[in-house]
Amino acid sequence: TQTVSQSDAHVTVFEGDSVELRCNYSYGGSIYLSWYIQHHGRGLQFLLKYYSGNPVVQGVNGFEAEFSKSDSSFHLRKASVHWSDSAVYFCAVSAIDMGYKLTFGTGTSLLVDP
């Protein structure tokens, strides 16, 4: 069984700050890792994903994430946030032998103060 943990329910930063949203997972096999963003009242939008290769992956709007097998983590980062980045961010994992179903964390609500 896959589990996904997003330890910070809420993060508040100022516009222009850097931010890191944390994601830890547990699963013994090969997995896919991804991040999605959900603005208020809207569906999820794909940000980026990792399966293999370079552990640092680039996504849309300046986001990147780094996979660490030793830490079982896939943290999301952005060097300089904008007020429009305020949203809920979800980390998700899936695995071939779990039928590719996504298992989501419970999200981190990011508030960017202008």
Q: Which of 19, 22, 23, 36 binds another protein (CB under 8 A)?
A: 36
Nearer to another protein, 2 or 15 (CB): 2
Interface with another protein, residue 29, by CB under 8 A: no
| Region near another protein per CB under 8 A, out of 15-23, 61-69, 70-78, 85-93 | 85-93
**In sequence order, which residues have a C-beta less than 8 Å from that of residue 43 and are 6 or more positions away?**
none
Place of tokens 């999820």: 44
Whole-Å CA distances, 97 to 30, 63, 67, 100, 104? 9, 29, 20, 7, 17
Q: Is 7 in the site for another protein (CB under 8 A)?
A: no
- Cα atoms in the Cβ-side hemisphere of radius 13 Å centred on 16: 1
| Sole window of 38-46, 56-64, 70-78, 79-87 interacting with another protein (rule: CB under 8 A) | 38-46
Residues making contact with another protein (CB under 8 A): 32, 34, 36, 41-46, 49, 51, 88, 90, 92, 94, 99-104, 106-107
